[in-house]
Structure 1
Amino acid sequence: MAFIKEESEDVKIEETFTVKQEDLQEQTDLIEENEESKEEEHHVKIEEKTHLQTDDILKRRDKNRFICTQCGKSFGRKGNLKTHMMIHTGEKPFTCTQCGKSFNRSSHLNEHMRIHTGENPFTCTQCGKSFSQSSHLNYHMKIHTGEKRFTCTQCGKSFRQSSSLTLHMMIHTGEKPFTCTQCWKSYSRSSHLYQHMRIHTGEKPFTCTQCGKSFNRSSDLHQHMTIHTGEKPFTCVQCGKSFNFSSTLYKHMKIHTGEKPFTCTQCGKSFNFSSTLYKHMKIHTGE
C-alpha cells in the first residue's frame, strides 16, 4: 500500500510540474506574441512615418520648383528659370565689345572672347592642338579614337556627335527651320542664318589688322589674310599650281575638266567662267 501511495504522489508531482510547464510555455508564447505585435506595430509606424516624410519632401520639392509658363520645364532655382526664359524672350544681355555679338549667358560670352584673345586653354594630349572650349577638345579627341556612334539611317554616313547627325538629316528631309525675316530665305542651321543677317544689317565684325578691310565672315577674313602672308594653301592635283582661295582653285579646275557651265542664251556658246560669259554677252548687247 505504501508503494501505491508513493507512486500516486510521484504522479501528482509530475502532473503538477507538467501543468506548470505548460502554463510557463503559454505565458512565454503570449509574451513573444505580444513582443512580435509591438515590433510589427513599430515597423508599421516607421513605414508610415517614412511615407509621410517622403510625401512631405516631394510636396516641398514641388512647392520649390520654378515652372516655365511657356514650355512647362521646371527648375530648382529661380535664377536658372530666369536664364531659361531668355530662350523664349530672345534676350541676350551679354554683348561682346569686340564684334557686338550677344549672348544670354555670361559664361558663353567668356568662351566667345577667346576667339578675339586667341586663348586656347584646352590642349589635346595626342597631337598638341589647342582649343578655346572643352567641348571642342572632346569633339576633336574622337578624331584620334575614330569614334562615330551616330549613323544616318538614310545613307549610312556616321558622325561623332548626335547634333551633327540631326543637322545632316535635314539634307534628306529638306527641312530649313531658320528663316530670315527680311527676305524669307531659309537655312538648316541657325549659324548660317546669323551670318546671312549681316547682309541686311551691313555688319562686318571681322577686320584685317594689315589693311583695315572688314568682312562679315571670319572665313572670308582668313582667306583675305593669305594676300598679306603670301600663303597659297589650295593646290591643283593636276598641275600643282597653288592658289590662296578655294574658289580660285575651283575655277582653275575647269581648265582640266573641260567643264563649261555658263551658256549664252543668245547663241548657245558655253564658257567655264561667269566673267567670260559676261564679257561675251556684250557682243550681243552692243555694250
Structure 2
Amino acid sequence: MEHIKLEIVDMSEAEPGRVNTEERRGLMEVKEECQKINEVEGKHQYPEPHNFKPGEKSLTFENNYFQFLRRRSQRTEVEHSFTCKQCGKTFIRKQLLVDHIRIHLGLEPFTCDQCGKSFVRKALLNDHMRIHTGEKPFACLRCGKSFSVKGDLKIHMEIHIGEKPYSCDQCEKSFNRKGLLIDHMRNHTGEKPFLCDQCGKSFIRKALLKDHMRSHTGEKPFRCSQCGKSFSLRGNLNCHMRIHTGEKPYKCDQCGKSFTFKGKLKHHYRIHTGATPFTCNQCGKNFAQSDSLTYHLRSHAGIKPFKCDQCGEAFILGSRLKKHMKVHANERPYFCSVCGKTFSRLDCFKMHQKVHTGVKAHVCSECGNSFGRAGDLKIHQRIHTGEKPYKCSHCDKRFNQLGQLKLHERVHTGEKPYQCPSCRKGFTSSSARLIHVRKHCPKLSK
C-alpha cells in the first residue's frame, strides 16, 4: 500500500483574523504531532491488495482478508504508537490521532444539511448521510448482508472467521474482539462508566449512551424510505420496515405461526406452555400478558379512562368503548339467518348462535352444569370455590362478578345511568328501569 504523507497547512500564515491565538497554537501542535507520526508510520508494513486472476473465486480474497485481520489484531495488541498529549489516549494509526486531536480543538467542519450534526472528517459525514438515504453499499461476500458503513462490514466479516480468542474468565463466554469482551465484563462487575449528564442514567457501553441521549434531544435520524416515519434507534426502523415488506422472521416451532416481532412470538409461546407469569396482587389472578394485568388492575382501582360522550358510560379498555359506540350509531351489521335478530358486535352474534345450535361445550366438573362460553363457566365455578375477586373501592364488600361490583358501587356514587325514555327518571340498573317502564309506561315496553 502506497505510503501517504500527512500534510498540515500552517495556519500561522493564513489571513489575519481567520483563527485566534489559541486555535493557531493548537494547530501548530497538531503539525508537530503529524511530523512525528509521518516518521513512525514509515516503519509499519501493511498487506498489499490482492490481485485477482481471471476466473479466481472471491473466497481467496476473503482468506487473505481474514489473514490481514489476524495480523492487524496481533499488531494492535503490541503497538499503540500514537498518543494524545491532551488526554493520553493511544491509537494504532496516525489519522485516528489527528481526528482525535480535532475533537479537543473543537474542529468539526463537516456538517450534515439534513440534521445539522457535525464531523471531524468528510468520510464520517459521508457515512452519516447513508442514515438518511438508507444506502447500504458494503455487502458481505459470504452471506450477502449489507452495511452502510465499511467499518461495520469489517466487524461483521470477523464473525465468519470463527475465531473467538477473547474469553471471559467469569462465564467462559468468548468474543472475536477485545472491545466486546471489555463490554461484557461490565455485566459481571456492574460497572457503568458512561453517564448521561441530563438525567444521571449510566450505561455499560458508549453506543447505548448515544442512543439514550436521543430521548433528550428528540433526534430521530433513522427515516423510513417508504412512509417517511422517523425513529431514534436503527433497530426500531428495521422492525418498522417489516410492516412494508410483510416479513415475519419469527416462527413458532409448535404451530408454525409467524410474527413480525420477537416479543410477539414470546407472548404467543405462552398459549402452548400455559404460562401466566403476571399475577394480580389484589386477587391473585394470573395473566399471560403484562398489558392484560394492567387492564385488570383498573377494575380494582375503578379506573375507567375511556368515556362515552353520548351517554357518559365509562370503560376500562378503548376497544370496549369502540364497541359500545355502535349502540349509539345503530350499527347492527351481524344478522342471524335463523331468527333474523341483528347485533352490533361480533362476539354477541357468535354467542347468540349457540342458542340455536344448543352447543354447551363448557361443563362444570363439580356439578355438571354446561355453558356455551368459557367465561360463563369460569364465573360459575366461583360458586364452588367461593372466590370473590372484585372488591368495592368504597367498602370491604367483595363480589364474584364484575357486573355485581359495578351495580353495588352505584350505591356509593349515586350514579343512575339508565333513564326512562318517557319521564327521564334514572335507575341504577337496566332491570330496575325495565320494571318501571312495564309498570308506569306499558306502551313503551311493547
TM range (shorter): 0.5 to 0.7
Look up the match of 2:297.
281
Could you tell me whether the CA contact under 8 Å between 2:132 and 2:221 is conserved in 1? no
Could you tell me whether the CA contact under 8 Å between 2:132 and 2:223 is conserved in 1? no
**Letter of the aligned partner of 2:101 in structure 1?**
M
Establish whether residue 177 from structure 1 lines up as the match of residue 208 from structure 2: no
Look up the match of 2:182.
166
From 142, 149, 157, give the equivalent of 2:165.
149
**Letter of the aligned partner of 1:184 in structure 2?**
G
Instruction: Give the TM-score taking structure 2 as reference length.
Output: 0.44
From 197, 204, 207, give the equivalent of 2:223.
207
- Could you list the per-position Cα deviations for residues 167-223 of structure 1 after superposition, in whole angstroms to 9, with x for gaps in the alignment? 111111111111111211111111111111111122222222333322111211121
Which 5+ residue runs of structure 2 have no aligned equivalent?
1-31, 38-82, 304-446
Instruction: Give the TM-score taking structure 1 as reference length.
Output: 0.66
Query: Partners of 1:181 and 1:258 in 2: how far apart?
Result: 44
How far does residue 233 in structure 1 lie from its aligned partner after superposition? 1.3
From 104, 107, 111, give the equivalent of 1:95.
111
Look up the match of 2:283.
267
**Letter of the aligned partner of 2:250 in structure 1?**
F
Which 5+ residue runs of structure 1 have no aligned equivalent?
1-60
Look up the match of 2:260.
244
SS class of match (1:142):
helix
Q: Given the superposition, is the C-alpha separation of residues 191 and 101 from structure 1 closer, same or farther in structure 2, using an over 3 Å criterion?
A: farther
Q: Given the superposition, is the C-alpha separation of residues 277 and 160 from structure 1 closer, same or farther in structure 2, using an over 3 Å criterion?
A: same
Sequence identity percentage: 57
Could you tell me whether the CA contact under 8 Å between 2:99 and 2:120 is conserved in 1? yes
Could you tell me whether the CA contact under 8 Å between 1:122 and 1:130 is conserved in 2? yes
Look up the match of 1:227.
243
SS class of match (1:143):
helix
Query: Partners of 1:154 and 1:128 in 2: how far apart?
Result: 35
Moved more, 125-134 or 237-246: 125-134
Query: Partners of 1:243 and 1:154 in 2: how far apart?
Result: 35
**Letter of the aligned partner of 1:228 in structure 2?**
H
Give the paired residue count.
Answer: 224
Q: Given the superposition, is the C-alpha separation of residues 245 and 98 from structure 1 closer, same or farther in structure 2, using an over 3 Å criterion?
A: farther
Q: Given the superposition, is the C-alpha separation of residues 240 and 143 from structure 1 closer, same or farther in structure 2, using an over 3 Å criterion?
A: same
**Letter of the aligned partner of 1:83 in structure 2?**
D
Could you tell me whether the CA contact under 8 Å between 1:260 and 1:271 is conserved in 2? yes
How far does residue 243 in structure 1 lie from its aligned partner after superposition? 0.9
Query: Partners of 1:230 and 1:245 in 2: how far apart?
Result: 11
Query: Partners of 1:74 and 1:143 in 2: how far apart?
Result: 26
How far does residue 159 in structure 1 lie from its aligned partner after superposition? 0.9
Q: Given the superposition, is the C-alpha separation of residues 92 and 238 from structure 1 closer, same or farther in structure 2, using an over 3 Å criterion?
A: farther
> What RMSD in Å do the two structures reach over aligned CA positions?
3.2
SS class of match (1:247):
helix
How far does residue 150 in structure 1 lie from its aligned partner after superposition? 1.3
Look up the match of 1:257.
273
Query: Partners of 1:253 and 1:219 in 2: how far apart?
Result: 23
Establish whether residue 71 from structure 1 lines up as the match of residue 87 from structure 2: yes
- Could you list the per-position Cα deviations for residues 121-144 of structure 1 after superposition, in whole angstroms to 9, with x for gaps in the alignment? 545444454544444333333333
Query: Partners of 1:216 and 1:70 in 2: how far apart?
Result: 33
Could you tell me whether the CA contact under 8 Å between 1:238 and 1:256 is conserved in 2? yes
Query: Partners of 1:279 and 1:101 in 2: how far apart?
Result: 42
Could you tell me whether the CA contact under 8 Å between 2:221 and 2:230 is conserved in 1? yes
SS class of match (2:155):
helix
Look up the match of 2:44.
none
Query: Partners of 1:205 and 1:123 in 2: how far apart?
Result: 22
Higher helix residue share = 1
- Could you list the per-position Cα deviations for residues 214-263 of structure 1 after superposition, in whole angstroms to 9, with x for gaps in the alignment? 21112111211211222211111222111111221122222223333322
Look up the match of 2:310.
none
